[in-house]
Amino acid sequence: MNDLRKDPVSGRWVIIAKEQMLKKEDVVEYPKPLETDSKSCPFCAGHENMTPPEIWRWANPDGSWSVRVVPNKFPVLRVEGNLDRRGEGVFDHVTGIGAHEIIVETPNHDYLSLQEDGEQMFRILTAYKIRLEDLKNDTRLRYGLIFKNFGGEAGAHLPHPHTQLIAMPVIPKHVKEELVNCKMYYELKERCLICDILLEELERDIRIVGETEQYVAWSPYAARFPFETWIIPKNHSACFSLENDKSLRDLGILFNRILQALRRVLESPPYNYILHTRPFAFSPRHKQTTIDDDFHWHIEIIPRLMKIAGFEWGSGFYINPTSPEEAAHVLREALTG
Ligand SMILES: [Zn+2]
Ligand SMILES: [Zn+2]
Ligand SMILES: [Zn+2]
């Protein structure tokens, strides 16, 4: 019998279709990543003048850089202008104010250069932190979303390893859903929902993929996709950008090991990852005063192996043919092997 499972954080339902098995027809065909030329790549070292003026860099003593942050050349939201929130009859309108930045993760074109390097991951995470902290000061903005598209199937346009940051004047729907569920749970139990899940997962130990001193990775109980993996800080924290260097180093080690395990098991799949941290600010009418106690930041890694079909679009349900217990088992083996 298949399971219907509800993810307590997002409130989403998932059908864990154990009887279905992941079929070849369901899996998107993904080419090996990165067969392009680095000569015309704006993110490669030596091509710095091909990007808009730099916002931040991890500078090395020899004058080179390890990570660079630049504005997106084709931003979906722009920093310049006045923020205007108004209704147009039944419709809500907000001007397209915001920031759209690119975090160039390495001076080298090939993603393989990032493998086995937890220290570089630490530098990348530091760039996320610094940019979020800076954008938080812009009182027009309410949320900063960090996300990565790797591989064409996951929406990447350029193969050079990079992450994107979009800061916006509204809180996105998926984040809002998590905020509401975490707040409701907190009001009921006076405990953080994700802290409670963490205790339960560590005790059951059937969906844990790996852990370090300060972080744990698991396949969520109601995973939407095969091999979906979350990384969570063990100590309660609502805000990613308040983590210190020691914590981000520890995270970098686990994050890197998980990405490598996914590459090994799924042969360099296209994937997305997203960082869900607390909003910069709330609308005056919808303040979440317990946010620092009720929300727990996390990273969601989603391999893009499957097509999303009509049922998913129409229902918000997902059908996942690989049980999270099975996925966790396979990834755990790959992590230690
Ligand atoms: Zn490049
Ligand atoms: Zn917590
Ligand atoms: Zn989330």
Measure the CA–CA gap between 145 and 277, rounded to whole angstroms: 8
Q: What pLDDT, on the 0 to 100 scale, is given for residue 316?
A: 83
Distance 336 CA to ligand 3 centre (A): 26
Cβ–Cβ < 8 Å for 72, 101: yes
Task: Report how far ligand 1's centroid is from the alpha carbon of 107 (Å).
Answer: 7
pLDDT at res. 153:
78
Give the count of alpha carbons within 13 A of 61, CB side only: 0
User: How far apart are alpha carbons 228 and 14 in whole angstroms?
Assistant: 13
- Residue of higher predicted confidence among 274 and 285: 274
Residues that place a CB less than 5 A from ion ligand 2: 192, 194-195, 236, 296
Ligand 1 is an ion; its neighbours by CB within 5 Å are: 38, 41, 43-44, 109, 160
Dump strand ranges (E) for the chain: 3-6, 13-16, 56-59, 65-71, 85-88, 91-94, 99-104, 143-150, 162-168, 208-211, 215-218, 229-233, 271-276, 298-303, 318-320
Q: Which residues surround ligand 3, an ion (CB under 5 A)?
A: 276
pLDDT score recorded for residue 85: 87
Please give the Cα distance from 20 to 111 (Å, whole number). 33
Per-residue b or e along 190-201, where b marks 16 or more CB atoms closer than 10 Å to that residue's CB = eebbbbebbeeb
- What are the structure tokens assigned to 8, written together? 């307590």
pLDDT 10s digits, 201-238: 999 999 999 999 999 999 999 999 999 999 999 999 99
Q: Out of 162, 276, 296, 298, pick the active-site residue.
A: 162
Q: Read out DSSP for 153-206?
A: GGT-SS-S-EEEEEEESS--HHHHHHHHHHHHHHHHHSS-HHHHHHHHHHHH-S
Every domain of the chain and the residues it spans: 3-336
Q: Which residue has the higher pLDDT, 197 or 153?
A: 197
Whether 174 is a known active-site residue: answer: no
Q: Tell me the ligand closest to 47's alpha carbon.
A: 1
Per-residue tokens: 80: 């310049």
pLDDT tops 70 at residue 151: yes
What is residue 156's predicted lDDT score, i.e. its pLDDT? 81
Q: Residue 195 and residue 295: Cα distance in Å, rounded? A: 9
* Statement: residue 28 has pLDDT above 70: no
Predicted local confidence at residue 286, as pLDDT: 83
Ligand in nearest proximity to the CA of 174? 3
How far is it, in rounded angstroms, from Cα 251 to Cα 176?
Answer: 25
The per-residue pLDDT for 326 is 94
Query: In the CATH scheme, what is the homologous superfamily, with its name and number, of domain 3-336?
Result: HIT-like (3.30.428.10)
Q: What is the C-alpha separation between 274 and 190, in angstroms, rounded?
A: 27
**Residue 88, strand partner residues:** 91
| Ligand nearest to the CA of residue 274, numbered in listed order | 3
CA of 320 relative to ligand 1 center, distance in Å: 35
The 10s digit of each residue's pLDDT in 237-279 is 999 999 999 999 999 999 999 999 999 999 889 999 999 999 9
- Encoded amino acid at 81, one letter: G
**Distance, CA 196 to ligand 2 centroid (Å)?**
7
How far apart (Å, rounded) are the C-alpha atoms in residues 57 and 42?
A: 15
Tokens for 224, please give them.
Answer: 């939407």
Rounded to 5 degrees, φ, ψ at 6 are: -110, 130
40-83: pLDDT as tens digits: 899 999 999 999 999 999 999 999 999 999 999 888 888 888 88
- How far is ligand 1, taken at its centre, from the CA of residue 70, in Å? 14
Residue 313 has pLDDT above 90, yes or no: no
108-113 contacts at long range (C-beta below 8 A, 24 or more positions apart): 108/44, 108/45, 109/34, 109/38, 109/41, 109/43, 109/44, 109/159, 109/160, 110/34, 111/33, 111/34, 111/150, 111/159, 111/161
Query: pLDDT at position 251, please?
Result: 97
**Over the chain, what is the mean pLDDT?**
91
57 C-alpha to center of ligand 1: Å?
Answer: 16
Average pLDDT over residues 115-138: 92
What is residue 110's predicted lDDT score, i.e. its pLDDT? 84
Of 74 and 195, the one with more pLDDT: 195
- CA distances to 36, 100, 263 from 32, in Å: 11, 28, 11
